[in-house]
Each structure stands twice: as structure tokens, then as C-alpha cells.
Amino acid sequence: MKLVILDRDGVINFDSDQFIKNPDEWKPIPGSLEAIARLNQAGFRVVVASNQSGVGRGLFDMATLNAIHDKMHKLLAQYGGRIDALFFCPHTADDKCACRKPKPGMMAEIAQRYGLALSGVAAVGDSLRDLQAAEKAGAQPILVRTGKGEKTLAAGDIPTHTLVFSNLAEAAEYLIAPDNS
């Protein structure tokens, strides 16, 4: 099975320091939905692993998070794409949970759900914590320069075997290339 794990905010949609708190604030990064559809068409299962501490902070509730994800699914379907599963951590950093990235809890849950080791599985993110969670789970960290990606790259200290691409569309083209899949 070909699997790719995506962070949401900053990879699929524009991020906000004030959080994405409702469906109107969720806006896809140009080319991201098409990239997911191309990954699907190339035989990849696409899953999302996203920290959503806005729930734990009381900025929005589960019904609102579901509405945001419904919008994402509907817009993606217009391009013939789909997200096979959504994994998210609703906790704040103070909760000390095992699922909040950079901890690998969500990655372990994905591995268990699909019954496979994540060795070599592409995990695309825009922040250091995305890359660290991928590395801890044995996945292939991929940094995109969208969202917080430029700042993450400039700060340095990313895992040494991290691949870097301009955006999700460029990363998808790399993953789909016959010699990389």
C-alpha cells in the first residue's frame, strides 16, 4: 500500500496564527487539492495528521472542526480527490498527551490503523514538530515551504534526511515519479 501523511494547516490550507476557527477561514493553498487528487489517482492513500489545539483551548468545538473538515472534503471531491482518514490531536501542549506532534502518537495510530510500519512513508509538514514526529515514527520527513515552512527551514535543525519542496504540488510530483514510488 502506498501511503502519504499530510499535516493540514500550512500544507493543504493557508495557516493562521489565530487558528482556523470556522469553515470560512479554511482556504486551500493553490494547487494543494489538485495535488491530493493526483496522489489518489497514482494509488496513494492520503491521511491527515494535524494538531488542533484550538479545540482544547476552547476556540472552536468538535462540531466546528467537523464542519471545517466537511468543507475540505467537499472541495477536494470537486477535483476527484479524497482524504482516506483524518487524525488530529485536540489537546494543548499543557495536556502532555502522547498524540500532539512532535510526539509520534498520531503516527503510531496511523501505523496501527493501516497495519504497516511507517518506514519510508512520506510525511509532509510545514513545521519542525511535523518533521520530528515523522522522524520518530520512522517516516520520511518532507518539508514544504508554504505555511510556516520558510521559517522552519531558516531556523535550521531539521532532521538531516528531510526532503524540501516549494509546496504540496511539488512534493506530490516527486512522490508520484516512477523512480520514487
| Active site residue ranges | 7, 9
CA pair distance 22, 123, nearest whole angstrom: 26
**CA of 119: how far to CAs of 52, 105, 111, 181, in Å?**
25, 15, 10, 13
Instruction: Output the 3-class SS for 19-61.
Output: CCCCHHHCCECCCHHHHHHHHHHCCEEEEEEEECHHHHCCCCC
CB 56 within 8 A of CB 96: no
CA pair distance 76, 6, nearest whole angstrom: 14
